[in-house]
Amino acid sequence: MVVNDFDGDGNLDVLINGNDYSTEVSTGSYDAFNGLLLKGDGKGGFTPLTILQSGIYIVGDGKGLVKLLSASGDYLTAASQHKDVLKLFKLKKKTKTVKVSPDDVSAILKFKNGSIQKEEFYYGNSFLSQSGRFLTINENVSEVQIKNSKGNNRRISFN
Protein backbone atom coordinates (compact mmCIF):
# COMPACT_ATOMS: atom_id res chain seq x y z
CA MET A 1 0.00 0.00 0.00
CA VAL A 2 1.01 3.60 -0.59
CA VAL A 3 -0.70 6.47 1.21
CA ASN A 4 -0.56 9.89 -0.44
CA ASP A 5 -2.76 12.71 -1.70
CA PHE A 6 -3.02 11.48 -5.29
CA ASP A 7 -5.70 13.93 -6.47
CA GLY A 8 -4.39 17.08 -4.76
CA ASP A 9 -7.51 17.73 -2.66
CA GLY A 10 -5.57 17.85 0.63
CA ASN A 11 -6.88 14.46 1.82
CA LEU A 12 -4.80 11.29 1.99
CA ASP A 13 -5.74 8.49 -0.41
CA VAL A 14 -4.69 4.82 -0.33
CA LEU A 15 -3.34 2.84 -3.30
CA ILE A 16 -3.34 -0.96 -2.93
CA ASN A 17 -1.64 -3.75 -4.90
CA GLY A 18 -2.80 -7.27 -4.09
CA ASN A 19 -3.39 -10.90 -5.06
CA ASP A 20 -1.39 -13.86 -3.80
CA TYR A 21 -0.49 -16.93 -5.84
CA SER A 22 1.69 -18.55 -3.14
CA THR A 23 -1.11 -20.38 -1.33
CA GLU A 24 -1.34 -24.16 -1.03
CA VAL A 25 -2.53 -26.01 -4.11
CA SER A 26 -5.72 -27.15 -2.39
CA THR A 27 -6.56 -23.54 -1.40
CA GLY A 28 -6.06 -21.96 -4.79
CA SER A 29 -4.78 -18.48 -5.49
CA TYR A 30 -6.24 -15.24 -4.22
CA ASP A 31 -6.59 -13.48 -7.55
CA ALA A 32 -9.80 -11.46 -7.72
CA PHE A 33 -8.06 -8.12 -7.17
CA ASN A 34 -6.86 -5.71 -9.87
CA GLY A 35 -5.41 -2.94 -7.70
CA LEU A 36 -7.44 -0.24 -6.02
CA LEU A 37 -7.32 3.47 -5.26
CA LEU A 38 -9.34 4.57 -2.24
CA LYS A 39 -10.14 8.31 -2.26
CA GLY A 40 -9.98 9.81 1.23
CA ASP A 41 -12.52 12.35 2.45
CA GLY A 42 -10.29 13.78 5.21
CA LYS A 43 -12.59 12.46 7.96
CA GLY A 44 -11.48 8.81 7.97
CA GLY A 45 -13.79 7.68 5.18
CA PHE A 46 -12.70 6.25 1.83
CA THR A 47 -14.48 5.73 -1.49
CA PRO A 48 -13.20 3.10 -3.94
CA LEU A 49 -12.54 4.43 -7.44
CA THR A 50 -13.12 2.36 -10.57
CA ILE A 51 -10.26 1.37 -12.86
CA LEU A 52 -11.42 4.04 -15.32
CA GLN A 53 -11.50 6.75 -12.63
CA SER A 54 -8.09 5.90 -11.14
CA GLY A 55 -6.14 4.53 -14.11
CA ILE A 56 -4.86 1.76 -11.81
CA TYR A 57 -4.96 -1.77 -13.23
CA ILE A 58 -2.60 -4.25 -11.58
CA VAL A 59 -3.42 -7.90 -12.26
CA GLY A 60 -1.18 -10.79 -11.29
CA ASP A 61 0.68 -11.85 -8.17
CA GLY A 62 1.25 -8.43 -6.57
CA LYS A 63 4.31 -8.18 -4.34
CA GLY A 64 5.20 -4.54 -3.78
CA LEU A 65 4.13 -0.96 -4.32
CA VAL A 66 6.39 2.08 -3.93
CA LYS A 67 6.42 5.78 -4.72
CA LEU A 68 9.36 7.16 -6.69
CA LEU A 69 10.55 10.33 -8.37
CA SER A 70 11.60 10.18 -12.02
CA ALA A 71 14.76 11.91 -13.20
CA SER A 72 12.57 14.81 -14.37
CA GLY A 73 10.82 15.06 -10.98
CA ASP A 74 7.55 13.32 -11.91
CA TYR A 75 5.73 11.31 -9.23
CA LEU A 76 5.75 7.60 -10.12
CA THR A 77 4.25 4.55 -8.46
CA ALA A 78 5.88 1.20 -9.22
CA ALA A 79 3.90 -2.02 -8.78
CA SER A 80 5.86 -5.27 -8.76
CA GLN A 81 4.44 -8.69 -9.51
CA HIS A 82 6.04 -12.12 -9.05
CA LYS A 83 7.34 -13.46 -12.40
CA ASP A 84 5.70 -10.63 -14.32
CA VAL A 85 6.43 -7.11 -15.53
CA LEU A 86 7.05 -4.11 -13.31
CA LYS A 87 4.27 -1.58 -13.84
CA LEU A 88 4.89 2.15 -13.55
CA PHE A 89 2.12 4.68 -13.08
CA LYS A 90 2.78 8.39 -13.54
CA LEU A 91 0.74 10.95 -11.63
CA LYS A 92 -0.81 13.24 -14.24
CA LYS A 93 -1.13 16.18 -11.86
CA LYS A 94 2.09 18.16 -11.42
CA THR A 95 3.19 18.43 -7.80
CA LYS A 96 6.03 20.01 -5.89
CA THR A 97 8.28 17.67 -3.97
CA VAL A 98 10.55 18.13 -0.99
CA LYS A 99 13.35 15.61 -0.63
CA VAL A 100 13.63 14.11 2.82
CA SER A 101 17.05 13.75 4.47
CA PRO A 102 18.11 10.35 5.85
CA ASP A 103 17.58 11.47 9.46
CA ASP A 104 14.21 13.22 8.93
CA VAL A 105 11.38 11.49 10.82
CA SER A 106 8.23 13.58 10.31
CA ALA A 107 6.68 16.67 8.77
CA ILE A 108 3.80 18.95 9.67
CA LEU A 109 2.01 20.32 6.61
CA LYS A 110 0.10 23.56 7.14
CA PHE A 111 -2.62 24.29 4.62
CA LYS A 112 -3.90 27.68 3.46
CA ASN A 113 -7.33 26.90 4.99
CA GLY A 114 -5.73 26.54 8.46
CA SER A 115 -5.79 22.74 8.70
CA ILE A 116 -2.67 20.74 9.47
CA GLN A 117 -1.54 17.21 8.63
CA LYS A 118 1.34 15.16 10.02
CA GLU A 119 3.33 12.73 7.89
CA GLU A 120 5.93 10.31 9.22
CA PHE A 121 8.88 9.00 7.20
CA TYR A 122 9.89 5.34 7.33
CA TYR A 123 12.44 3.01 5.85
CA GLY A 124 10.08 0.39 4.48
CA ASN A 125 6.50 1.54 4.00
CA SER A 126 4.74 -1.81 3.61
CA PHE A 127 5.53 -5.48 3.09
CA LEU A 128 8.66 -5.83 0.91
CA SER A 129 8.38 -2.18 -0.13
CA GLN A 130 10.51 0.90 0.43
CA SER A 131 9.42 4.13 -1.21
CA GLY A 132 11.63 7.03 -2.16
CA ARG A 133 12.01 9.53 0.66
CA PHE A 134 10.21 12.64 -0.48
CA LEU A 135 7.17 14.67 0.43
CA THR A 136 4.50 15.65 -2.09
CA ILE A 137 3.25 19.22 -1.84
CA ASN A 138 0.13 20.54 -3.58
CA GLU A 139 -0.98 24.13 -4.15
CA ASN A 140 -3.02 24.16 -0.93
CA VAL A 141 0.07 23.79 1.31
CA SER A 142 1.45 27.04 2.73
CA GLU A 143 4.24 25.67 4.93
CA VAL A 144 6.07 22.46 5.81
CA GLN A 145 7.94 21.94 9.05
CA ILE A 146 10.27 18.91 8.94
CA LYS A 147 11.67 17.35 12.12
CA ASN A 148 14.76 15.13 12.23
CA SER A 149 15.79 12.39 14.68
CA LYS A 150 17.72 14.88 16.84
CA GLY A 151 14.65 17.09 17.33
CA ASN A 152 15.83 19.84 14.96
CA ASN A 153 13.21 21.47 12.72
CA ARG A 154 13.48 23.08 9.32
CA ARG A 155 10.72 25.17 7.82
CA ILE A 156 9.85 25.59 4.13
CA SER A 157 7.27 28.19 3.07
CA PHE A 158 5.26 28.13 -0.16
CA ASN A 159 3.47 31.14 -1.64
Specify the pLDDT at position 127.
64
- What span, in angstroms and rounded, lies between the C-alpha atoms of 106 and 149? 9
Task: For 51, list phi and psi in degrees, rounded to 5.
Answer: -60, -40
Q: What is the distance between the alpha carbons of residues 152 and 102, in angstroms, rounded to a whole number?
A: 13
- Structure confidence at residue 89 (pLDDT): 92
pLDDT on residue 88: 92
User: In which band, very low, low, confident or very high, does the pLDDT at 37 lie, cut at 50, 70 and 90?
Assistant: very high
Residue-wise pLDDT for 127-148, tens only, equals 666 778 899 888 889 999 999 9
Among residues 19, 14, 16, the alpha carbon closest in space to that of 3 is found at: 14
pLDDT of residue 155: 96
Tell me which range, 88-97, 121-130, 150-159, is most confidently predicted by mean pLDDT. 150-159
Predicted confidence band of residue 33 (pLDDT cuts 50, 70, 90): confident
| Residue range 68-96, pLDDT digits in tens | 999 888 899 998 888 888 899 998 888 88
pLDDT at residue 129, rounded to an integer:
67
Residue 157 reports pLDDT greater than 80? yes
Q: What percent of the chain has pLDDT over 70?
A: 94
Convert 139-158 to b/e letters by CB count within 10 Å (16 or more is b). ebbebbbbbbeeeeeeeeeb
pTM above 0.85, yes or no: no
Calculate mean pLDDT across residues 27-50: 87
Look at residue 13 in the predicted model and tell me its pLDDT: 94
